Structure 1
Amino acid sequence: MSPLLLSRIQFGFVISFHILFPAFTIGLAHWLAFLEWRWLRTRAEVWRDLYFFWLRIFAISFGMGVVSGIVMSFQFGTNWAVLSERAGAVLGPLLSYEVLTAFFLEASFLGVMLFGWKRVSHGLHFFSTCMVALGTLLSTFWILAANSWMQTPQGHEIIDGMFIPVDWSAIIFNPSFPYRLVHMTLAAFITTCFVIGGVSAWYLRRGIHLEPARRMLKLAVAFALVAVPAQVLVGDLHGLNVGEHQPIKLAAMEAHWHAEPEGEGVPLVLFALPNEDAERNDFEVAIPRLGSLILTHSWDGEIQPLTSVPASERPPVAPVFWGFRVMVGLGVAMLLLTLASAWAWWRGWLFESKWLLNGWRLLSPAGFIALLAGWYVVEIGRQPWVVYGLLRTSEAVSPNITAAAVMGSLITFAIAYAVIFGAGIWYLIGLVRKGPQPHERAPDTEDGDKTPARPLSVGDRDDAEAS
């Protein structure tokens, strides 16, 4: 295995862990802002208890996201030195803006959010929660701007092999950025929504925490009823953008090898085993013309086939093809569950339907899986380019790095991640099993007790098991 392949595997391994936690906390931060707003409006204790329940989960998830992100950033210098050297003038400032705006904002208000309950006014505490939520959106903005520029680069000049910025507005607002930003943000919200719905369904099936669970499930259904159809629309617009700016990626997503005879349109391939050596699909099941209608919004529209470029300029077809179908398939399942749940809610038997409750439990990790599948489509579909059409991945790897060094660090990362994230996930499961609890009153500051509440405490094991 070459240093290039191992470096790609290592980066894919690290980012697969990292992307899950920021995506979850993006949605969770806004969920916390909503819960605290509801408590401020109603003063109902159930909203306050839900806030502190999800705050604990947010704190752990946020910490694991920070740890995995730090590891990922080091790889730009160790494994991808040529990319850092040639594109650093563009990517460096964008990533710095993310730190200066988003991370500092989150860090500044996170302490107040975690430990400031009844140490500051309720208004200031709510403001801190909102600022943390805003910080997650700013982080999404800058990271997606950097990655989107690598997908559809513009606003630069290439001088002596170096990418030199000439128009920052064109760099940031490159052709794919608006679609990818909205698509990713909605994906993060939907991921969190289905976790909340799955947890509430689990409580309802066990007959515990019934009042909080009913409220959470209603809100999950209501939000999904808006967000999931919106994601379908945004995904369609994003697909049209990919067809315009990255046609070979779109061809790989559809395993479209050869141009169809004129007037016959492009079929929609439902199932196939892409055969890259023979440049065909084995065991293909397809619907004639439907691909044209979906991909081009025309009954006889055409897309550029894979064979229109040399094999060296095509991405690996099978992972892109199947990753796209996993993402779309889970999206369809989430949409159907949402519509069925909305109907059951309207008819008054949402909380009694074991099929729907089990469906929410089953699809609670669907957002994470769809998120990873979509990210693989985006990144693998960009190959063999790291900066699309301008810098090949094989040219961006560090020149003097050895396969043994990359393999050693990859094994180290795998062991460390298994321990750290295994413990973190086990802790999160403990929090979920305990569920929302009546929030302990903060110490009276007038008596001189300044001890903050323990926002990360799971509580006594016996209490957790009893609940």
Structure 2
Amino acid sequence: MNFDLSAEMLARIQFAFTVSFHFIFPAFSIGTASYLAVLNGLWLRTRDEAYLRLFEYWKTIFAVTFGMGVVSGIVMSYQFGTNWAQFSDKAGAIVGPLMGYEVLTAFFLEAGFLGIALFGRKRVGDKLHMFAVAMVAIGTLISATWITSANSWMHTPAGYSIDVNGNFVPEDWWQIVFNPSFPYRLTHVVLAAFLTTAFTVGAVGAWHLLRDRKNRMARIMFSMAMWMAFIVTPIQIFVGDLHGLNTLEHQPAKIAAMEGHFETHQGAPLILFGIPYEEEERTKYAIQIPKLGSLILTHHADGEVLGLKEWPKDERPPAVIPFFAFRIMIAIGMAMLVVGLWSGIARLRGKLFESIWLLRAAILMGPSGYVAVLAGWFTTEVGRQPWTVYGVLRTSDSLSPVDAPAVATSLVVFIVVYFFVFGSGAVYLVRLMGRTPSINIQALSFVAPIQTNLRHQRPTSTSSET
């Protein structure tokens, strides 16, 4: 470990590492909880054994993912006290209650009904079991709401005052919770979680379809996932545009870094690719389209887009990470759109399960949601620098009085432990997904009434199942 790095930079790297590991699990579990609720609802409505089988298949994967998300989240939260005590002290009166509300309204809801949702079907009956599954799904969404609200307040602070000691004092909780960027961030985060789950489920379904085109449950998985990709991806792109306009209004320096603009432009070009050089204050090797940047950002071809030179150097975000992370996120979003439209065309032609290249593309896109989510968070969080609370509290003023060697040592420990524990968990999840979806007939014997004889499968349909 290079101890020439400052304690602040090492603490930032440590938090980025742990939060990145953490968020890939909620990004999947939020969507999977809703997917389980839909599957269980379809089972109750149709009594089609395939939906019950799929529920049992994915509930194990969800349980493992949920557990790893909880564990990684607890470890991450300790850093507010160890590395970022000044931030906790100054902003605790606002961020603390928001995090507490998440525990009280979401985590307790999830934990209270999780056992019933996973193991209680025999004991509580179909209606109460469905209620428990729905409560777990709603709990994940409530959790996302509070966490996103707290994070959004740090980007667009509102409803506060600052006392004589420099501490944030809440004045209007309505403005704090529903701060200017919150609606856009929450919608963007939830849709990203749904797409992450959709492309994971789609990849698993495609994998099993390549092995057995007649696997009805794989057909249902793949069909449902592609419906989500087809419908939600365009909505996410639209929401992303609204989020970008909101960021331009409240955090224009972040937009300048994301776009690679150092100079202010009237009719800014869209830089497709380049390499930002902060020392020289320019983006080299730029491949760009004239005026398209202003058209996208301001919806006017000659709209003004500020460059990073408009801010003092000590108030500019670093440009390289937001610039490339943003382009990775956009590229993946466009790939999702292509796969979604491709699946729609294949469905219309009756070839959804027969197109080998579509199935292969779906498998390739399996990890895409996680990469896009991480790229998006890197863009927004690095783009917020050098502020912890944007424009008010600097990151350097949020740090605990810790030495760089101590932070470096804990960072190394985190890296080793995380890769071993959560790496093993990830491998286990992949193995679970590799199982052919099926449930022993005896495991379903408690379900009644069943309209079809479980000892005789219905003929496999050659058409779209969902």
What letter is aligned with 2:176? I
> Which position in structure 1 is the counterpart of 2:67?
63
Give matches, 1:213-252, under 5 Å: 213-252=218-257
Give matches, 1:215-364, under 5 Å: 215-260=220-265, 262=266, 265-364=267-366
C-alpha displacement of 1:440: 5.3
- Find the residue that maps to 2:121 and give its secondary structure: coil
C-alpha displacement of 1:423: 1.8
The alignment covers a number of residue pairs equal to: 441
> CA deviation digits over 1:216-257, x for unaligned, max 9?
111111121111000011000000000000000001010111
> CA deviation digits over 1:285-329, x for unaligned, max 9?
100011111010011101111100111111110110000000000
Identity %: 54
> Which position in structure 1 is the counterpart of 2:125?
121
What letter is aligned with 2:255? L
Do structure 1's residue 433 and structure 2's residue 434 form an aligned pair? yes
Give matches, 1:56-135, under 5 Å: 56-135=60-139
What letter is aligned with 2:187? V
What letter is aligned with 1:398? S
- Find the residue that maps to 1:278 and give its secondary structure: coil
Q: Say whether the 8 Å CA contact 2:273–2:287 is kept in structure 1.
A: yes
Do structure 1's residue 158 and structure 2's residue 162 form an aligned pair? yes
C-alpha displacement of 1:402: 1.3
- Find the residue that maps to 1:283 and give its secondary structure: strand
Do structure 1's residue 410 and structure 2's residue 411 form an aligned pair? yes
Q: Matches of 2:66 and 2:438 in 1, distance apart?
A: 21
> Which position in structure 2 is the counterpart of 1:378?
380
> Which position in structure 2 is the counterpart of 1:136?
140
- Find the residue that maps to 1:119 and give its secondary structure: helix
> CA deviation digits over 1:92-120, x for unaligned, max 9?
00000000000000000001111112111
> Which position in structure 1 is the counterpart of 2:456?
none
- Find the residue that maps to 1:282 and give its secondary structure: strand
What letter is aligned with 2:353? F
Q: Say whether the 8 Å CA contact 1:190–1:228 is kept in structure 2.
A: yes
Moved more, 201-210 or 386-395: 201-210
> CA deviation digits over 1:346-370, x for unaligned, max 9?
1011211111111100001100000
Q: Matches of 2:22 and 2:77 in 1, distance apart?
A: 11
> Which position in structure 1 is the counterpart of 2:189?
184
Q: Say whether the 8 Å CA contact 1:117–1:442 is kept in structure 2.
A: no
What letter is aligned with 2:308? L
- Find the residue that maps to 2:123 and give its secondary structure: coil
Q: Matches of 2:353 and 2:119 in 1, distance apart?
A: 35
C-alpha displacement of 1:431: 1.1
- Find the residue that maps to 1:382 and give its secondary structure: coil
- Find the residue that maps to 1:99 and give its secondary structure: helix
Q: Matches of 2:437 and 2:59 in 1, distance apart?
A: 11
Q: Matches of 1:442 and 1:231 in 2, distance apart?
A: 39
> Which position in structure 1 is the counterpart of 2:173?
168
Q: Say whether the 8 Å CA contact 2:248–2:255 is kept in structure 1.
A: yes
- Find the residue that maps to 2:397 and give its secondary structure: helix
Q: Matches of 2:23 and 2:329 in 1, distance apart?
A: 15
Do structure 1's residue 26 and structure 2's residue 27 form an aligned pair? no
What letter is aligned with 1:175? P
> Which position in structure 2 is the counterpart of 1:462?
none
Q: Matches of 1:442 and 1:354 in 2, distance apart?
A: 34
> Which position in structure 2 is the counterpart of 1:422?
423
Do structure 1's residue 13 and structure 2's residue 17 form an aligned pair? yes
> Which position in structure 1 is the counterpart of 2:371?
369
Q: Matches of 2:146 and 2:89 in 1, distance apart?
A: 20
Q: Say whether the 8 Å CA contact 1:209–1:435 is kept in structure 2.
A: no
What letter is aligned with 2:397? E
What letter is aligned with 1:195? T
With structure 2 as the length reference, what TM-score do the two structures score?
0.93
Q: Say whether the 8 Å CA contact 2:268–2:293 is kept in structure 1.
A: yes
Change (3 A) 1:342 1:6: same
With structure 1 as the length reference, what TM-score do the two structures score?
0.93
Q: Matches of 1:423 and 1:318 in 2, distance apart?
A: 32
Do structure 1's residue 392 and structure 2's residue 394 form an aligned pair? yes
- Find the residue that maps to 2:383 and give its secondary structure: helix
> CA deviation digits over 1:416-455, x for unaligned, max 9?
111211221121122112131125545999xxxxxxxxxx
Q: Matches of 1:391 and 1:75 in 2, distance apart?
A: 18
C-alpha displacement of 1:407: 1.3
Report runs of 4+ in structure 1 exceeding 3 Å deviation.
439-445
Q: Matches of 1:25 and 1:186 in 2, distance apart?
A: 13
Q: Matches of 2:51 and 2:430 in 1, distance apart?
A: 21
Q: 1:195 aligns with which of 191, 195, 200?
A: 200
Q: Matches of 1:233 and 1:99 in 2, distance apart?
A: 31
Q: Say whether the 8 Å CA contact 1:203–1:209 is kept in structure 2.
A: no
Moved more, 202-211 or 58-67: 202-211
> Which position in structure 2 is the counterpart of 1:455?
none
Q: Matches of 1:273 and 1:426 in 2, distance apart?
A: 35
Q: Matches of 1:115 and 1:336 in 2, distance apart?
A: 39
Q: Matches of 1:440 and 1:106 in 2, distance apart?
A: 29
Q: Matches of 1:298 and 1:90 in 2, distance apart?
A: 38
Q: Matches of 2:263 and 2:41 in 1, distance apart?
A: 55
Moved more, 429-438 or 29-38: 429-438
> Which position in structure 1 is the counterpart of 2:464?
none
Q: Matches of 2:444 and 2:221 in 1, distance apart?
A: 29
What letter is aligned with 1:428? L
- 5+ residue gaps, structure 2: 447-466
